[in-house]
Structure 1
Amino acid sequence: MNERISAEAELAWEDFHRLVNMTSDELRTWLLTDASGEDAFPEPGEGPGVSELGARVVDILRKRKVDLTDGDAEVMQEVVDYVEEHLDHPPPEENLDERWRHELMSVGHDPLRPEPSSA
């Protein structure tokens, strides 16, 4: 069992949980819907994609920080980079397209969900 995690993994954990605003159950349900795309849960052996990344996010959301692997830290950083890139380049407000939101939701970030208020 991993008793300590690296500083990079710690930072990735914090950023990941700041940006991923869906629970593992919400994300899994989303990935199983038609709206998330035909390849929501691709067949084994099919190439990687956002949906495969989403499945990894579901797994990570179900873990405790001390149970993270180096691979999990890489996935968390990939998700952080993906979400930040999408949030930095949204479609124009009048054309806020459903595909953009669905791409974000497929890795656990619903851009329409209000941010939690800090007390």
Structure 2
Amino acid sequence: MTDALELDALWEEFHRAVNMTSQELAAWLRVRDAGESTEPLPDRAGDATGQQVLEILQKRRTDLTDDDVRVMYRVVDTVAAQADEENEPEAQDTRRRHRLMTIGHDPLRP
């Protein structure tokens, strides 16, 4: 496990990168996975990373596991790599926006 200072910094970075609430992310994952005639069970919507982000958002910092920490680093790195400040996506860049939203980051939010 990472030390307390490193974990505090990661917690802050993660919550800056993940700018959607757990309710918004859960709703997005359900909508994203809904088919024409079917809708996934609420607790099974979205990919594994999206589900892990959702679980982390519902935890306290003291309840994080090593796996949670790995996911948090991966999400922070992904958002940093794909959402640079100078080149925020335009509204029509929906595919990129939707990819980021599956891990809880809406690039159109300030």
TM-score band w.r.t. shorter chain: 0.7 to 0.9
State the superposition RMSD in angstroms. 2.8
Q: Partner residue of 2:62?
A: 66
2:16 pairs with 15, 18, 28, which one? 18
Please, which runs of 5 or more residues in structure 2 have no aligned partner?
A: 41-45
Could you tell me the TM-score, scaled by structure 2's length? 0.76
Seen in structure 2, the aligned counterparts of structure 1 residues 33 and 12 have a Cα distance that, compared at 3 Å, is: same
For residue 87 of structure 1, report the CA deviation from its aligned partner. 0.9
**Contact 1:91/1:97 (8 A) holds in 2:** no
- Percent identical pairs in the alignment equals 49
Query: Which residue identity lines up with residue 110 of structure 1 in the other structure?
Result: D
Gaps of 5+ in 1: 42-49, 115-119
Equivalent in 66, 73, 79 of residue 77 of structure 1: 73
- Please point out which of 21, 26, 29 is paired with 1:28: 26
Deviation of 1:108 after TM superposition, in Å, equals 0.3
Aligned residues: 99
Q: Secondary structure at the match of 1:63?
A: coil
1-structure distance, mates of 2:96, 2:26:
18
